[in-house]
A = this chain, B = another copy of it.
Amino acid sequence: MRIAVDAMGGDYAPEVVVQGAIDASSKLDIEVLLVGDKDSVAEALDKHPSQTRVSLYHCTESIGMDESPFKSVRQKRDSSIRIAFELVQEGEADAVVSAGNSGAILAAGVLTLGRLKGVQRPAIASILHGENGEIVIIDVGANVDCRPSHLLQFGVMAHAFAVACLEIPDPNVGLLNIGAEAGKGNEQVRLAQELFRESHLNFIGNVEGGDIFGGDVDVVVCDGFVGNILLKMSEGLADMITRLVKKELIRSTPTRITGPLGKRHMSRLMKRLEYEEYGGAPLLGINGVGIVCHGASSSRAIMNAIELAWRFSANRVIQKMVSELDLYRAENDFSRLSASKNH
């Protein structure tokens, strides 16, 4: 398998991206194509003369974090994000990983690979670690204003992803809301509840903010405005808490915490809290595999994102998603038929 990695994306590119690619290629049975400007990437890559599985794919342009997504992807035909997806389109690579402008990654995915049949709005999912395992939140920022039917599609796609990529057998799908009762929430969510209830998904109803990390839900559906704020807030809160814990521990147990035992335990804890562990957020709804990484990604985050791209491709998640979307469309046709009978 070959993964195209955007070497120009992220706050610490290209160095940490190159390092992450090298680490992933020695851990997994993959090749990596680093897409970027040869002068800046070669310098970082030359530090690893003995490796053979990471190679450079030269391009001349890159897209900045604040550039308009669709405009920049259309105009910058030789940008690293666009070229990475074109490599997938041409069969030269199996997946894309980028820590660049997330809107541009989504736009490039849609423009080059297209959407899966029946998908109105591709979305960005995020994988969080809760107390009882992995949780998928969708959408975390691609779509700020959503219709109820968009939310249902997010649920269908994330359900397929949870089954096929995370190997959760029968994921519980919940709709993020401000109360458990059916009548709660804003209009968008109240209407979406009915659609979810009629679907083939294992819908457990509304979930509240407090149920995300410690509850029974595997897939949490919300619009991209709420999801993005939530995701960033949880990262910020986890960051603050880990800093506070470290500070208090250094104060209270100066010798223990620097000892190997304390260190090992604390690092296991920190691993569960840091977003680096999650690696990246999968794009769902495009006809291919794209992983969006945090702009501030470390080499470990890049490595984990490449591993996620590998699992995403190896587990044939797209095929599973296509089947679920077929089922979803059949259901929707069926409900239209039964609705017209009542008229």
Contact = CB atoms under 8 A, between A and B. Distances in A.
Interface of A: 66, 130-131, 141, 144-145, 176-178, 181, 185-187, 189, 208-214, 222, 224-226, 228-241, 243-245, 248-249, 251-253, 256-257, 261-262, 264-266, 268-269, 272-273
Contact of A252 (B178, B208, B244, B261): B261
Nearest to A131: B240
A265 B252 contact: yes
A256 B261 contact: no
Given A209-B233, A214-B236, 7 more contacts: A145-B187, A178-B228, A208-B229, A209-B236, A233-B233, A244-B272, A252-B265
Copies of this chain present in the complex amount to 2
Interface of A is mostly: helix
A266 B241 CA distance: 12
A208 B264 CA distance: 33
30 contacts: A66-B181, A131-B243, A144-B178, A144-B186, A145-B186, A186-B225, A208-B228, A209-B229, A209-B232, A209-B236, A210-B235, A210-B239, A212-B233, A213-B236, A213-B240, A225-B226, A226-B229, A229-B230, A234-B234, A238-B241, A241-B273, A245-B245, A248-B266, A248-B268, A249-B265, A252-B256, A252-B266, A253-B253, A253-B256, A253-B261
Nearest to A225: B186
A42 to B, nearest CB: 33
Contacts of A240: 130-131, 213-214
A251 B265 contact: yes
Contacts of A208: 228-229, 232
